[in-house]
Structure 1
Amino acid sequence: MSGFETTVADMTPWLQAYGYPILAVSVALEGAAIPLPGGILMAAAAILAAHGELSLAGVLLTCWPAAVAGDNLGYWFGRSGGRRLLLRGGVRRQRLVRLQRFFRRFGGWLIVFGRFFDGTRQLDGLVAGSIRMPWRRFFIADLIGTSLWVFTWVVGLYAFDQHPRLIHRTILHLNPWIATLAAAALALAIWRLLPRRKRPDTRPRPPAEQAD
């Protein structure tokens, strides 16, 4: 049994005992940067739904609003005091400005696809609020990202439990393409955050400036 399967098995009794409420609270607080196993509980809930112990629609309708609520809670935490915490924590203002520029251009995509990765999933809202990303833009991107994340994981694991061989073959075919796209996106993000060298000014100066 893999580590993921073991963790899901450990989380299953909590769902069987407390059901949808603990699922909603865990998913929401994880999105607000509070370290709870929301994603793992959601995976366990999808597998229980495949076994008929929970409703697939119930899991979807619990996780999606909870994820949106948690991300927006994290956003307002960041908006109200995250910038001061970052500066006190040693982040330079110049780096914050660079991060703001990056979010201005790519923030929407980062919110949408960052949902699928540990770390970015928990911190996207907090960081977006800290750098003053417009709330409406964040909210729309978060609606899209959370819906994709919840639907992919819940329906994907539900279908995998029902049709494991077919899904496994599909993942094997898609994996190289997904890895290539993820590596390209990471390389672009790093390139955008690296400092730029200023080119020397080679323009001819006016005569009066040359005389000086």
Structure 2
Amino acid sequence: MLTASLLAAASSDAERHGVFTLEGFPYWIVYVAAFGIVMARAQATYWLGRGVARGVGGTRVARLLTGPRAARVIEQIHRWGPPAVTFSFLTVGVQTVVNLAAGYLRMPFARYLVALTFGCLIWAAIWTTVGTAVVWGAILLFLHQPAVLAALVVLGLATTARLLSRRRARDEDPQPQPEEV
């Protein structure tokens, strides 16, 4: 059976290379590569924000920075500064807006770089351990029980859709005004 042979090959690869590797590369090489990739991406986003602040108005990026989500992120950066950059790497989908807003607000580069470095170290650690384990687990689950993996994907998509629709409904609801006495 094809599935059994693929399962055996995947198990043998995991045993030979370890779960926290990529095609036989040791963990530290995968970690350094992930760190470099996220560092370059985040800095590119920061400098894009700086460019928008210099007067590239009317662009898609400029419109993104005037939306309600960006307004909340900008307020957090004003309030928390560099720690907002660092801790944004513990979230999914917020990092880009935080780095863009940090550039747009012209956060001093030295402060930004320190916060970014710690955030990238955290991100690389998470994705080269937990992320790699999840990928290997999904591959093995696909090879052994594809219906279970499909059900988990559908459940994840449905949950995400529900959360997004609730958030959108909440954002569209006008805030109740306090009654005057």
Q: TM-score, with normalisation over the residues of structure 2?
A: 0.50
User: Does structure 2 retain, via aligned residues, the 8 Å contact 1:81–1:130?
Assistant: yes
User: Does structure 2 retain, via aligned residues, the 8 Å contact 1:78–1:126?
Assistant: yes
Which residue does 1:129 correspond to in 2?
99
Q: SS at the partner of 1:203?
A: coil
Q: State the distance in 2 between where 1:67 and 1:99 align.
A: 25
How far 1:70 sits from its partner (Å)?
Answer: 1.0
Matches within 5 A, 1:31-46: none
Which residue does 1:146 correspond to in 2?
127
The counterpart of 1:80, out of the listed 40, 44, 47, is 47
Alpha-carbon displacement from aligned partner over 1:42-98 (angstroms, at most 9, x marks no partner): xxxx97x8499x945334624443223211222222223425338632416542323
Of structures 1 and 2, the one scoring higher in RCO (CA 8 A, sep 6+) is 2
Report the CA distance shift for 1:201/1:156 in structure 2 as closer, same or farther (over 3 A): closer
Alpha-carbon displacement from aligned partner over 1:2-23 (angstroms, at most 9, x marks no partner): xxxxxxxxxxxxxxxxxxxxxx
Structure 2 letter corresponding to 1:91: R
The counterpart of 1:91, out of the listed 63, 83, 87, is 63
User: Does structure 2 retain, via aligned residues, the 8 Å contact 1:78–1:130?
Assistant: yes
Q: TM-score, with normalisation over the residues of structure 1?
A: 0.45
How many residue pairs get aligned? The number is 143
Q: SS at the partner of 2:174?
A: coil
Report the CA distance shift for 1:92/1:150 in structure 2 as closer, same or farther (over 3 A): closer
Q: State the distance in 1 between where 2:37 and 2:152 align.
A: 30
User: Does structure 2 retain, via aligned residues, the 8 Å contact 1:112–1:146?
Assistant: no
Structure 1 gap segments, 5+ residues each: 1-45, 115-119, 205-212
Q: SS at the partner of 1:182?
A: helix
Q: State the distance in 2 between where 1:191 and 1:102 align.
A: 22
Identity percentage over the alignment?
8
Q: State the distance in 1 between where 2:166 and 2:87 align.
A: 12
Q: SS at the partner of 1:131?
A: helix
Q: State the distance in 2 between where 1:141 and 1:191 align.
A: 33
Report the CA distance shift for 1:51/1:196 in structure 2 as closer, same or farther (over 3 A): closer
User: Does structure 1 retain, via aligned residues, the 8 Å contact 2:45–2:96?
Assistant: yes
Matches within 5 A, 1:190-201: 190-191=168-169, 194=171, 197-201=174-178
How far 1:100 sits from its partner (Å)?
Answer: 3.4
RMSD: 4.5
User: Does structure 2 retain, via aligned residues, the 8 Å contact 1:111–1:145?
Assistant: no
Which residue does 2:106 correspond to in 1?
none
How far 1:156 sits from its partner (Å)?
Answer: 3.8
User: Does structure 1 retain, via aligned residues, the 8 Å contact 2:85–2:99?
Assistant: no
User: Does structure 2 retain, via aligned residues, the 8 Å contact 1:111–1:142?
Assistant: yes
Report the CA distance shift for 1:181/1:191 in structure 2 as closer, same or farther (over 3 A): same
Q: State the distance in 1 between where 2:89 and 2:167 align.
A: 13
